[in-house]
A and B are shown apart, each in its own frame.
Chain A
Amino acid sequence: MKYLLLINTRSPGEPPAGEPGVEEFMAYDKAVTDAGVKVDGNALDLGTGTTVHVRADGERVVTDGPFAETREIVGGYYLIDVPDLDAALDWAARCPGARYGTVEVRTVWEPDAS
């Protein structure tokens, strides 16, 4: 079963709670890869986000950044394939992002699931 781990860092306006080191993420990435559960995963640039919305009248609205009200910003993600939620939560808890921000665990919708 596929789970998406959304690694939320604090947005630039929030007081910093420290930064996970690159080595920490490298070690985590190696662990996820070696365990054979990683489907995909990337860190995201934080300052380049652009948001698009298409209005009912068809007008395209492009704005800078993610939604302005967001207190946290997605700084990276992993797509993992593990047997159940407990296994996914274990991987989420091991992610360095969980100690400096939060990791949101989402299931990937599958048409055959129900």
Chain B
Amino acid sequence: MEALAISLVNAVPLLAGVPLWAVTLLLMVVVAAVILVFALTFEGVGSLVLRKVAGDIQARIGPNRVGPNGMLQFLADGVKLVLKEDLIPANADRLLFKLAPYFAFVGSFAAFVVVPFGVGLIAADLNIGIYYVMAVTSLVVIGVLLAGWSSNNKWALLGGMRAAAQIVSYEIPVGMALIPAVLIAGSLSLQDIVRSQSGLLGIFGWNLFHNPFTFFSFFLYFTAAQAETNQTPFDLPEAESELVSGYNVEYSGIRFGLFFLSEFGDMFIVATLSTACFLGGWNVPFFNAGTLPWIWGNLFSLGVFLAKAFTMVLIMMWVRWTLPRLRVDQLMRMAWKYLVPLTFVNLLGVSLWLLVFKGKGIPAMIASLFG
């Protein structure tokens, strides 16, 4: 960020008199605003697409009243959420009740900072990128647990407890399934991980095709991440047909909206992580976006990245509208008896592969056969 600030100061003579920290701060605020706008737009459009996809899958029409073909439905929903009365139950723990949605929202939104949208499009290329994502998304569980506890509602409490147990359990397989990508890239930075997957026509360098273990770990990650973000078939914390609405049952208005947004944010983060770590990130198949002029290369890679990520989101929606829900003991059994051992074995497999074949993947070996 500071390097960018220096180059900005050098480029614009008007800024020469301004202290460097002010420029950096300004830049940070601008970038944060851009990301926030993007996140909110994605979440709004995402909710619309979700409902449209749901309508399509469920043999009905979906929203079609607000704006052309229902396109503005998300705006109407957003306005409605803001205008709704903000109810706080009489016996709720008011402070925690008000605090909880922010934890959930911040947890999912903060992860957007390290999403590698394009060749140079990343708000902060932290050298601990993946670790950072894992850390901040853990805030969501605190929000959900607080919401369940502070509502003073037994259904909400059950939902909060379920969420805590579930998210904490599934964080282990999620982390373990992501480590293969880190091992191959030799870096925790998401941008480095994406760069490590370039080459070989931009598609055979993907970690997905690196070796059988990484192929497997993509699916392990996707499954575990679905559970970590409370998506169907693991949506137990908000199991509508069991817990009424789960941890957010007492929330209304914009506080409910924040939970809603954080859910979509989580969905997108899962999609971006699986894209960045396994599907080559912004690497364009059969083409090297880095050779283009800065602006075109970025736009191009941004489009490719979003296309991949949205495909993953659509798959998540598809799963969501197809599968029934697990029971809570089955969910825990799945985490501890299947996913955790599998991800560990898988990690071992990837490590051995990298050791034995000196870091080369199957496509690279095939390519070297042909010179």
Chains A and B come from one and the same complex:
no
Enumerate chain B interface residues (CB-CB to A < 8 A). Answer: none
A interface residue numbers (CB < 8 A to B): none
